[in-house]
């Protein structure tokens, strides 16, 4: 393992004004997105949709530092025969790969899940590296509900995240460590804070036990937000203040950067929260985005599976990427105020 090279990639992934495009939806997940816009979930349509984003030169070169790909996508070629990985590289962005294989019920823990895919991961990683991937992603899912999460679920998922991270670094691939506390429930922001703090502390303990070098990772956590069904809402300022406080309590300064997941927030909510956090300042790590839906909902709707809509979809993607790029600098709200004036 060459830690200096891993650190160089990790630092580039959280470069000022840039963030990560999460284009790693599974075939089943992207079907839901395509169903919503009346588009058939075919391999060609999946390729065409992702290709239109990777060819959006302004967005990719100015605001996107890296792209998380699904296994199907990393091997695909564009319509003209160019490997999609090469399209990404040409813009200066770094190709990455989702390596977990989804979730399964956690034995003896009703309602809780464990992420799978560690078997043969050591064999798969060198192939992804050869194909151009320089970072990877593994998502652990923690739900909040009646009597959950359990210590078993948190510890087991944190251990798997750490094992994955160690294997990635051994293969000279930067691991994105993604422990996601879901926002699907009726819990308030304080319960989210409490559980996420627990999850992060256990995750970093397990990373230490597995001898993972923190200078060569990127953390992808959820923000401290109320559940979608919560009657008690939180302001942008409260989300920013509590999320930063939580991270300062849990995340060592050796970590180069934190790239938030959007986790079901609306486009503008995810942008506003990131912007407010970066306005706080005096942070030991870079704070940026690793968004899927919050970057893609608008271009998907504009595209709707029609080739004549590609330009409109690219404009929508550029706009969302630019807004989040500004938010990663704490300049989003001020830029809107200038436009309004």
- Residue entry with tokens 């950067």: 257
How many Å apart are CA 126 and CA 289, to the nearest integer? 27
Would you give the distance in Å from CA 26 to the centre of its chain? 14
Cβ neighbours of 231 (radius 10 Å):
8
Catalytic residue among 178, 180, 202, 286: 178
CA 168 → CA 36, 54, 100, 158, distances in Å?
A: 35, 25, 12, 15
Whole-prediction pTM value? Answer: 0.95
How many Å apart are CA 300 and CA 317, to the nearest integer? 9
How many Å apart are CA 33 and CA 41, to the nearest integer? 9
> Using omega within 30 degrees of 0 as the cis cutoff, is the peptide bond preceding 95 cis?
no
Q: Return the H-helix or E-strand segment holding 136.
A: strand 135-142
HSE-CB at 134 with a 13 A cutoff on CA atoms is: 21
The strand pair at 257-260 and 286-291 is best described as parallel
Catalytic residue among 137, 220, 242, 286: 220
- Residue entry with tokens 């060569």: 216
Cβ neighbours of 308 (radius 10 Å):
8
Q: What is the DSSP letter of 222?
A: P
Q: How many helices (H) and strands (E) does the chain have?
A: 14, 10
SS3 68: strand
- Residue entry with tokens 């050591």: 122
Total count of residues recorded for the chain: 341
Is 220 among the catalytic positions? yes
How many Å apart are CA 94 and CA 137, to the nearest integer? 13
Q: What is the pLDDT of residue 281?
A: 86
Task: List the pLDDT tens digit at each of the 341 positions of the chain.
Answer: 999 999 999 999 999 999 999 999 999 999 999 999 999 999 999 999 999 999 998 999 999 999 999 999 999 999 999 999 999 999 999 999 999 999 999 999 999 999 999 999 999 999 999 999 999 999 999 999 999 999 999 999 999 999 999 999 999 999 999 999 999 999 999 999 999 999 999 999 999 999 999 999 999 999 999 999 999 999 999 999 999 999 999 999 999 999 999 988 999 999 999 999 999 989 999 999 999 989 999 999 999 999 999 999 999 999 999 999 999 999 997 666 556 43
SS3 324: helix
How many Å apart are CA 218 and CA 195, to the nearest integer? 20
Q: What is the pLDDT of residue 333?
A: 75
What is the set of domains in the chain, with CATH numbers? 3-340 (3.20.20.70)
Q: What is the pLDDT of residue 334?
A: 67
Q: Return the H-helix or E-strand segment holding 113.
A: strand 113-115
């Amino acid at each position: 393992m060459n830690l200096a090279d891993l650190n160089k990639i990790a630092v580039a992934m959280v470069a000022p004004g840039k963030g990560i495009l999460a284009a790693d939806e599974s075939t089943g997940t992207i079907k839901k997105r395509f169903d919503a816009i009346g588009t058939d979930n075919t391999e060609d349509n999946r390729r065409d949709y992702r290709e239109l984003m990777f060819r959006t030169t302004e967005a990719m070169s100015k605001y996107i530092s890296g792209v998380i790909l699904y296994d199907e996508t990393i091997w695909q070629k564009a319509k003209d025969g160019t490997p999609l990985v090469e399209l990404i590289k040409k813009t200066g962005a770094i190709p990455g790969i989702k390596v977990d294989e989804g979730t399964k019920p956690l034995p003896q823990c009703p309602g809780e899940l464990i992420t799978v895919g560690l078997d043969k991961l050591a064999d798969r990683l060198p192939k992804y590296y050869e194909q151009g991937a320089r970072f990877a992603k593994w998502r652990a899912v923690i739900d909040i509900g009646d009597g959950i999460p359990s210590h078993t679920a948190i510890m087991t998922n944190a251990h798997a995240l750490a094992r994955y991270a160690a294997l990635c670094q051994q293969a000279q691939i930067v691991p994105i460590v993604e422990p996601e506390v879901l926002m699907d429930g009726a819990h308030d922001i304080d319960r989210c804070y409490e559980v996420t703090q627990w999850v992060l502390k256990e995750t970093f303990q397990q990373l230490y036990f597995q001898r993972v070098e923190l200078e060569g990772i990127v953390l992808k956590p959820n923000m401290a937000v109320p559940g979608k069904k919560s009657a008690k809402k939180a302001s942008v300022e409260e989300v920013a203040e509590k999320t930063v406080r939580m991270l300062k309590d849990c995340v060592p300064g050796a970590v180069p950067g934190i790239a938030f997941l959007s986790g079901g927030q609306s486009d503008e909510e995810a942008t506003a929260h990131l912007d407010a956090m970066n306005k706080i300042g005096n942070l030991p790590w870079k704070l940026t985005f690793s968004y899927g839906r919050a970057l893609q909902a608008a271009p998907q709707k504009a595209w709707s599976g029609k080739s004549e809509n590609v330009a409109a979809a690219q404009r929508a993607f550029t706009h969302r990427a630019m807004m989040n790029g500004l938010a990663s600098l704490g300049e989003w709200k001020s830029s809107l105020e200038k436009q309004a004036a």
